Structure 1
C-alpha cells in the first residue's frame, strides 16, 4: 500500500463524510492498509493526513485546469464543472469537495486550513490568469474567477442535498455564457 493510496483514500472519505467523521483507523480500513503503516507515513496523525489529502485534491483539480485552460477560459470552466459533475454523479451524490469539507469544519488544523485556502487561491488564480490572457481586465478576471470557484462549490453542496445534478448544470451553463461573453 502506497502513501498516495492512503492520501487518496483520506480525500475520498473527507469528501463523503467530512473531516470530523473521518478517523485514521477508518482511512486505513478504507485504503486497505494496516493501521501501523498509516501512522508510519503520517506521524503527524489526522492533521497531517488531512492536509495532504487537501493538497492532493488541490493538485488534481489544478492539473485538470492547467490542461484545459490552454484552450481558453471557457474550456477550463467547462472542464472544472465536468470534473465536479463526474464526482457527484459517480458517487451517487455522496461525495463533494474535500477542500470545502476541510474549510467549513471548526476543528480543522491551521495547516489543513492553509492548504484549503491555497487550493482555492490556486484554482481561482489559474482561471483569472486565463481570463486576463483573453482580454479581461485584471480586477474583473480575479472577481469572475472567484465567482466560478465559489459557485461550483456551492452548486456541488446543493446537488448533494437535493440529490440532483440540476444546480451544478445550471450554474455551469450560466457561468459559461458569462465567461464566453467576456472573452
Structure 2
C-alpha cells in the first residue's frame, strides 16, 4: 500500500503519541517515530523544523485534544457520566491492547519530559484544559460552580492515577474501581 505523502505529518504525530504513552518522553526518538510511522527521514525536518522537541510538543497537543473529545459531543452536550465512561473505556482498551505498557502521553511529559523545555507548560495547559472542560460540563448539568471545579480536579486526578496504578498492577481493576466511585459521586 502506498501511503499518502500528505499524511506523513499526521503519521509521525500519531507515532509520537504512541511512543510517549509507551516509552515516555526520553524514549520518544526521531528514529523511533520514523520506524513506527514509516515516514521518510526527510519529512521530519520538513514538517518539524524544530526537530524532536517540536514533534513531541505537537504530539502532546494532539493527544490533549483527542482526550478532550471525550468531553464533547456532536451537539455540544454529553453527560458527565457518559464522558467518564467513554474515557474509562478508552484507557481500559489501551491498557489491555498494550499489555499494560501504555498510559497517558501527557503524564509521560510530566514525569520524564525534563529535556523538553515546553513539556511542563504543555502538560499544565492540557491538564488544566481537561479540568476546565469537565468543570463546565458539570456546571451545564446543574452542579454548582465551586463543587464542579472540585469534582473536575478529582476526576482528572483519579482517572490519571488509576491508569498509572493499572499499569503497575497489570490490571484494569484500579481504573474500574475509580470509575465506579466517580460514577456514583456524579
Instruction: Give the alignment's TM-score, normalised by structure 2.
Output: 0.90
* Greater shift in the superposed pair: 15-24 or 81-90: 81-90
The answer for unaligned runs of 5 or more in structure 2 is: none
For this pair of structures, how many residues does the alignment match? 179
Q: Matches of 1:71 and 1:11 in 2, distance apart?
A: 26
* Runs of 4+, deviation exceeding 4 Å: none
* Aligned residue in 2 for 1:63: 69
Q: Matches of 2:19 and 2:35 in 1, distance apart?
A: 11
Is 2:157 the partner of 1:153? no
Q: Matches of 2:119 and 2:46 in 1, distance apart?
A: 19
Contact 1:102 1:108 in 2 (8 A): no
Is 2:175 the partner of 1:168? yes
Q: How far apart are residue 9 of structure 1 and its match?
A: 0.2
Q: 5 Å matches for 1:18-167?
A: 18-67=24-73, 70-105=77-112, 107-167=114-174
Q: How far apart are residue 106 of structure 1 and its match?
A: 5.0
CA separation of 1:54/1:76 partners in 2, compared to 1, >3 Å: closer, same or farther?
same
Q: Matches of 2:137 and 2:149 in 1, distance apart?
A: 10
Q: Say what the alpha-carbon RMSD is for the aligned residues.
A: 1.5
Q: Matches of 2:124 and 2:115 in 1, distance apart?
A: 12
The answer for unaligned runs of 5 or more in structure 1 is: none
Structure number with the higher helix fraction is 1
CA separation of 1:147/1:108 partners in 2, compared to 1, >3 Å: closer, same or farther?
farther
